[in-house]
Amino acid sequence: MMTNAGHDNAEVEDLSVAILQYERGLAELTSSVVHHGEQQEVVIQGEHARISQPWKVVAEIARSNGFPDPEGNPQLVEELESLADARPPLEHTGHTGQLGDVIAALREDRAPLVDGEDGKDAIELVTAIYAAAIERRTIDLPIPPESPYYRAGTLTERAPHFYEKTSSVLSQEGETIIIGATHA
C-alpha cells in the first residue's frame, strides 16, 4: 500500500508499506520520507536472530511458556558479531562503493559483488511493490513477460497522482539537509 501522508506539494507517494511472503516467512518493507525523527534502518528478522543496519544484533531463546528469556542468546549474538567483525570494512558505500567495485571487478577480471541479475531482481521487487499498491492485490514474482508491468511505461501510466505540484525548490544553497538523526 502507498499514500502521500505529509507532502501536499508532491505528486508521488511519501510512504509505502509492503509485506513480502517467502516460503518460510514474511518480511515487511517500509519506505518513507515521513519519518518525524524516526531512525532510518534496515531490519532483518530471522528465525534465530535480528540484525539491522545501523549494525545491531539481537538473539533470543524462547522459554517453555513461549516468551523470550530476558537474558537472550549471548552465544549467538557473539557468533554473529564475530562473523561481522571478520569481514573487511567497506572501503566505500552507496553509489561510490558500487561503482568502485564494478571498476575493480573489471580490472581484476572477477565478478562484481552486485551483478546485473541482482539489479534486475531489485527493479522487479520495486515494480511488484508498485503494482501491488496500484492494483490493490498481491503480485507474484517473477513478473511474467506478458504482464503490463514487465514493460517500461506502465508504472508511470498507472501510478497514483496524489497532488499537483504548486511550487519547486530552486536551490538547496544555505540549507541543512537532514538524513535520519544526522546532518549532511
Ranges of beta strands (E only) in 6-91 are 15-22, 25-32, 42-45, 49-53, 56-59
DSSP state of 155: H
Query: What tens digit of pLDDT does each residue of 115-130 get?
Result: 999 999 999 999 999 9
Q: What is the pLDDT of residue 59?
A: 95
- H/E/C letters for each residue in 79-146? HHHHHHHHCCCCCCCHHHHHHHHHHHHHHHCCCCCCCHHHHHHHHHHHHHHHHHHHHCCCCCCCCCCC
Q: What is the pLDDT of residue 183?
A: 47
Query: What tens digit of pLDDT does each residue of 76-130 get?
Result: 999 999 999 998 887 778 888 889 999 999 999 999 988 999 999 999 999 999 9
Average pLDDT, the chain: 89
Q: Which has the higher per-residue pLDDT, 139 or 95?
A: 139
